[in-house]
Amino acid sequence: MIEWDRVAPYLDRALDLEAPERENWLAELTQTQPAIAQKVRSLLARHAVLDAQGFMERSAIDPPK
């Protein structure tokens, strides 16, 4: 298992890139560090699902009235 502190900088970098540039960057990362690239791709996929579901876009609790 890859430790979070090894993956986090790569995930941050990936999230900073636009989609076409991100894919090129991930392809290069796959050549040099395949395990990290695989984990980053997995986290990006999960991020996309949560984003599509509106995660963190609204409060988890209703404000008092």
Per the listing, tokens 């991930």 go with 26
Domain residue ranges in the chain: 9-52
Using an 8 Å Cβ cutoff, are 32 and 24 in contact?
Answer: no
**Rounded mean pLDDT, 20-39:** 96
pTM greater than 0.85 (yes/no) = no
Q: Is the pLDDT of residue 2 over 90?
A: no
pLDDT band of 19, cuts 50, 70, 90: confident
CA count, 13 A, side-chain hemisphere, 46: 7
At 31-64, the pLDDT tens digits run 999 999 999 999 999 977 776 666 556 655 666 6
